[in-house]
Structure 1
Amino acid sequence: MESVEIPIAEIYVPAKRKRTLKPAQVDELAESIMEEGLKLPISVRQGNGRFVLIEGLHRLEACRALGEETIKSIIVRARQH
């Protein structure tokens, strides 16, 4: 699978996924990304004219905290949960 750069502002995070966010983990990842770059792309699907996060909430939020405008992503074909 090939990863593509997607604007962070175009990624929708479902409310139930946001509840699993751990700020300490975001901080650790942000530090790691600053030093070594993003190692693993996030996974998104397309739905209703936007990208919907499937996997990688903490990586997404870490990149957002670092002020990144885009993030490496894999677009998967998945049905809506």
Structure 2
Amino acid sequence: MKTIIIEIDKIYVPAKTRKSLNPARVDELAEDILENGQKSPIQVRLGKERYVLIEGQHRLEAIRALGENTIGAVIVQARRH
């Protein structure tokens, strides 16, 4: 799978995914990403005019907390929730 760089603003996070966000984990990941870079891409699927997050909510929020506008991602085929 090929990692691409996409704009964070073009990623939709489904409501049921947002419920499981752990702020402490986001802080840990942000610190690790700041020191070591993003180790693994998030997974998204193509939606209508945007990407839909499949996996990597904490990584996405950590990158966002660091003030970045883009993130490494892999486009996967997944059924809609």
Give the TM-score, by structure 1 length.
0.98
Which residue does 2:45 correspond to in 1? 45
Which residue does 1:67 correspond to in 2? 67
What is the Cα deviation at residue 78 of structure 1? 1.3
Which residue does 2:19 correspond to in 1? 19
What is the Cα deviation at residue 8 of structure 1? 0.3
User: RMSD of the alignment, in Å?
Assistant: 0.5
Give the whole-Å Cα distance in 1 for the aligned partners of 2:68 and 2:7.
9
What is the Cα deviation at residue 49 of structure 1? 1.6
Matched pairs, number:
81
Superposition map of 1:28-39 within 5 A: 28-39=28-39
| Structure 1 residue ranges without an equivalent (≥5) | none
Give the whole-Å Cα distance in 2 for the aligned partners of 1:17 and 1:64.
16
What is the Cα deviation at residue 29 of structure 1? 0.2
Divergent runs of 4+, >3 A: none
Q: Secondary structure at the match of 1:6?
A: strand
Give the TM-score, by structure 2 length.
0.98
| Structure 2 residue ranges without an equivalent (≥5) | none
What is the Cα deviation at residue 42 of structure 1? 0.1
